[in-house]
Amino acid sequence: MKKRTAFIGAILSLIPLGHPLMIKTSLVLSTTGLILSVPNKVNAESADYYIDRANKKFDDEDYYGAISEYNRALKINPYSVFALSRIGRSKYYLQDYKGALQIIDKAVKMDENYKFSFVIRGDIKFELGDYYGAISDYNKSIKIDSNDLFPYYFRGLAKKEIGDFNGACSDMKRALKFSKINKVTEILNRWIKYNC
């Protein structure tokens, strides 16, 4: 018998029968010289696995499927603000504004520095006709990250709804400064041309 085989046999003989031994991503069971290797289900049991699946469904506009997968991720990691925010955005796209607002409120309470939760909540409030509430949430998002075009753009739309045309134009011009996508730049330029 080779020295290496004898060494492994000696080590395994010290392990009680049926005792699990973790080696990298596999579970090894030791039983009188017989080694059974069972692949570990790390991917299928991680929150990231379900978030990846949910993101694909979200991108394919399968919002019900995305919500289901994000909820699976939340069962594993109930503190995923990203998953909560994406559920809120999915419900928003499904026009379940009240359900979306409940979820986003949880995300905001969990992490008051996650700017996207404020943008989503602002969008929901905008759809519900709460333009001042929407502006307040866009302000919070801008306070967290003042270099993002979307809160300025959406805040500009909300300001227009309340009759603050100067504020709306100012926000659209700020949004334009951060635009790196030709189509978005074109939309902003057209908006500014006809409204300012």
Q: In one letter, which amino acid is 61?
A: E
At a CB cut-off of 8 Å and minimum separation 6, what does 125 contact?
101, 131, 133, 134, 137
The structure's pTM equals 0.72
Compute the average pLDDT of residues 179-183.
83
Contact indicator for 66, 57 with CB cutoff of 8 Å: yes
Give the mean model confidence (pLDDT) for residues 126-137. 96
Q: What is the pLDDT of residues 8-44, one digit of tens each?
A: 454 445 445 444 444 433 344 434 444 444 443 444 5
Residue 2: which pLDDT band, with cuts at 50, 70 and 90?
low
More confident residue, 184 or 73: 73
180 membership: H or E segment, kind and range? none
pLDDT band at 187 (very low <50, low <70, confident <90, very high): confident
Query: Over 60: is that where the pLDDT of 48 sits?
Result: yes
Q: What radius of gyration, in Å, describes the C-alpha atoms of the chain? A: 26
Q: How many angstroms separate the first and last alpha carbons of the chain?
A: 87
Q: What is the pLDDT of residue 41?
A: 43
Q: Which amino acid is at 183?
A: K
Compute the mean pLDDT over every residue in the chain, rounded to the nearest whole number: 81
How far apart are the C-alpha atoms of 122 and 28, rounded to whole Å?
51
pLDDT band at 161; cut points 50, 70, 90: very high
Distance CA 193, CA 159 (A): 17
User: pLDDT at residue 142 above 80?
Assistant: yes
In this predicted model, what pLDDT tens digit does every residue of 51-86 receive, in sequence order? 999 999 999 999 999 999 999 999 999 899 999 999
In the chain, the domains with their CATH numbers are 3-40 (no CATH), 43-195 (1.25.40.10)
Higher pLDDT pick, 196 / 42:
196
SS3 assignment, position 177: helix
